[in-house]
Structure 1
Amino acid sequence: MLHNKVKENLKAGKASVGMIIGIYSPSLVEMFGYAGYDFVIIDDEHGTYGAIEMENMIRAAMLVDLVPIVRVDYNPSSIQKALDRGALGIQVPMVNTKEDAKRVVQRAKYPPMGTRGTAPMTRAAGYGYHAGKKFMDASDENILIVAHIETPQAVENIDEIMGVEGIDLAFVGPYDLSVNMGHKEGIDHPDVQEAIELVYKKAKLHNIPVGTVANTKEDIEKLIEKGTLYIPAVATEVMKRAFNGVLPD
């Protein structure tokens, strides 16, 4: 019924590579799948999606065996809506405290663990054809829950965040983290790198995998060597570099 190969890879200690996309293009999503990526993050935090557009992006991902994950916005109902449309994972920005992490899990899981609303006629439940206990149990097992660690407060509370049952992965948002730490000049500042290393160290202690972004093959390979198991590239950044590479000098 439901199958999340990215979550399976995480459990096996195998890295998954994907794309983040914030523009509406089911065709590009299909291309990611044909290229061999494992997942796509549909960015509803910074992107330009309506409800039907998000659903079509999820549908396109499933056509080419991409795991559809939605980076939700700040509306409390956004997790419910993404999952009801068929997302197999959620990434939640600005998870800064243990309480934040608990709320995320509660909204993503069905009772008794969570408070996710039950609606058997959603796309996720096959419009009623897959509804019932079997679907709800499979959803709770397969949905990937990713907490964004992108503020000094989140780094300070990282032990408590990673200790919340149901959080599957800590995602380091390096750009937000650097800006929120007061270093708008970039992510290479020593204080930012020290904070990132602390997240990796704590994640290892809690046996929680870490994800972060990279936009080149070389950087992705370095992250995999470091033990990073979830690595998306930003589609527009990859395209920008490709476009620039075609222009004559």
Structure 2
Amino acid sequence: MFRKSKILAKIRAGKVARVACFGSPIAMFPALAAHFHYDGIWLDAEHRVWEPREAEAMIGRHHAADIDCLYRACTKEKNSLYRLLEDGAAGLMIPHVGSADEARALVQAMKFPPLGDRGFCGGGRDAGFWVGKADDYTTQANAETFLMVQIETPEALANVDAIAAVPGVDLMFLGPGDMSLRLGCTAAVNDPKMLEVQKQVAAAAKKHGKAWGRPVGSIEDAKVIVDLGAQLVAYGSEFGGLYKHLAECSAQFDALLNETAGVPSELPAGKVY
């Protein structure tokens, strides 16, 4: 029996999927996120380094906790991408997808025929190491694993309608850090430029029956994008949790010792940490 994606189940039911983010090898993180009712975890391998066996083991911990692993890959190379799906990733997030042609190439890598050109194995975790392989394995794999493309540049924004129209693209994920850097605005959900970007992505997603989302730094920010139709919200991370906890502890030390460490207690708004 192919494991069903909790993120896709939420989206198909017209609900909002809850996603946490981490990029550190913290063994307990999938179990904790599942305990707190998250549907999936965005595991970052774009900006953090994961050895292949280390990544495979961490994806396995997601399976043990029955929570989706949304793996942000550091490559667009075909074989490397579908190997992550064989290891059990529920979906792949691909950074810097700027055109419909790039999106189509990713579909070819991640989806089995007739939709794509993914190589067949059947001996991976996704197929139950063959022991639990369903007769319709390839059909279930196409239906229960997802491709999320990141819209992060003005080029991608100009092509967002064409990208959303590509069959096999399941979700679009706005990258506010890179987009704001290139547009000369902030990543905040209510920044006028960013708000227009979000509306444009939302319109393309709605037109083509796709889901979209982005990271946020507060529940108030989450409401803004949910009101715009976002069905995937990334909120909560190991980095943010540790930063905020240590900032609180540092402030308490300052008060106790009558010292000032000069550590900022707040992270920049508009992103998930």
Q: TM (normalized to structure 2)? A: 0.84
Give the conservation status (yes or no) of the 8 Å contact 1:96–1:151: yes
Aligned-partner SS, 1:70: strand
SS of residue paired to 2:136: helix
Q: What residue in structure 2 maps to residue 201 of structure 1?
A: 203
The corresponding residue for 2:148 is 146
Q: Distance in 1 between matches of 2:134 and 2:29?
A: 34
The answer as to 2:247 corresponding to 1:244 is: yes
Mean CA deviation greater in 130-139 or 145-154: 130-139
Amino acid at match of 2:44: D
- RMSD (CA atoms): 1.8
Q: Report if the CA contact (8 A) 1:18-1:40 is conserved.
A: yes
Identity of aligned residues (%): 26
Runs of at least 4 residues off by over 6 Å? none
User: How far does the alpha carbon of each residue in 1:8-36 deviate from its partner, in whole angstroms, 9 at most, with x for none?
Assistant: 11111100111111111121222111122
Partner residue of 1:119?
121
Alignment of 1:156-175 (within 5 A): 156-175=158-177
1:233 matched residue in structure 2: 235
CA distance in 2, matches of 1:146, 1:69: 9
Counterpart residue number, 1:186: 186
Number of residue pairs aligned between Structure 1 and Structure 2: 247
Whole-angstrom CA distance in 1 between matches of 2:26 and 2:49 = 11
Distance 1:203 1:50, change over 3 A: same
1:196, CA displacement in angstroms?
Answer: 2.5
Q: Which residue of 2 aligns with 1:57?
A: 58
Deviation at 1:233, TM superposition (A): 2.5
CA distance in 1, matches of 2:161, 2:221: 27
8 Å CA contact 2:115–2:168 kept in 1: the answer is no
| Alpha-carbon displacement from aligned partner over 1:134-164 (angstroms, at most 9, x marks no partner) | 2111111100111110110010001110000
Provide the rounded CA distance (Å) in 1 between the counterparts of 2:248 and 2:218.
14
Partner of 2:262: none
Q: Secondary structure, in 3 states, of the residue corresponding to 1:154?
A: helix
Q: Structure 2: any 5+ residue segments left out of the alignment?
A: 256-273
Aligned to 1:92: 94
Deviation at 1:176, TM superposition (A): 1.0
Equivalent residue letter for 2:46: E
1:133 positional shift: 4.5
Q: Deviations over 1:148-194 (max 9, x none)?
A: 1011001000111000011111111100111133x2x6324533332
Q: Which has the larger radius of gyration?
A: 2
> What amino acid maps onto 1:5 in structure 2?
K
Could you say if the C-alpha distance between residues 113 and 195 of structure 1 is closer, same or farther in structure 2, counting changes exceeding 3 Å?
Answer: same
Kindly indicate whether the alpha-carbon contact (under 8 Å) linking 2:97 and 2:103 is maintained by their aligned counterparts in 1.
Answer: yes
Q: 3-state SS of the aligned residue for 2:41? A: strand
* Alpha-carbon contact 2:172-2:213 (below 8 Å) kept: yes
Provide structure 1 residue ranges, at least 5 long, that are not aligned to the other structure. none
Q: Distance in 2 between matches of 1:87 and 1:3?
A: 11
* Cα distance in 1, alignment partners of residues 203 and 76 from structure 2: 31
- SS of corresponding position for 1:233: strand
Worse overlay, 157-166 or 70-79: 70-79
With structure 1 as the length reference, what TM-score do the two structures score?
A: 0.92
